[in-house]
Structure 1
Amino acid sequence: MKVYSLFIAQIKQKNGIIERVNYNKPKSENTKQPKGPPEKERAITEALKFFGMIGDPL
């Protein structure tokens, strides 16, 4: 499974993990970011739980 760092950052933000400031921001405010599919979201969430970054480990 190929998971992009954007998807991981979105899941971390959704779970309240504070990321550092991104200095590579787009110039316009209206840019759309792709959202990961639900199966990748579940896999990332499970991995973050496994490593103890969110919630209880499995």
Structure 2
Amino acid sequence: MIPLNSIVKKAEAYKPKQRITYKLIKEYILEKYSFKVHTAYIAEVKRDLGLPMYDAPNAVETLKNPRKHPTPIQVDAIKDALSHFEVIQN
């Protein structure tokens, strides 16, 4: 029989990995670099890195106003944020 105390200790020690959202990434970039990035830029960088992507339920086939590509500075900031949250390794 497993003592109840050990189960409680294991449950307290177990912390699931934080879910990394685009909002967290945007907040990190705003704090560290003092500029904002669009979620489409984050998605583009993730796609370029080959990270798993989910299909957006509100996606459209063609955009009315196509979005520009992120600048190299924005790409570096997004990659830094992804490595900060341990989504990628440097």
Identity among equivalent positions (%) equals 26
Number of corresponding residues: 55
Output aligned runs, 1:1-58, within 5 Å: 1-28=35-62, 32-56=66-90
- Unpaired segments of 5 or more residues in structure 2? 1-34
Whole-Å Cα distance in 2 between the matches of residues 28 and 48 of structure 1?
27
RMSD between superposed Cα atoms in Å: 2.0
1:2-52 Cα deviation digits (max 9, x unpaired): 1100000011111111111123333449x8442011111110011111111
TM-score in terms of structure 1 length: 0.75
Q: Which runs of 4+ in 1 moved over 3 A?
A: none
* Structure with the greater alpha carbon radius of gyration: 2
Name the structure with the higher helix share: 2
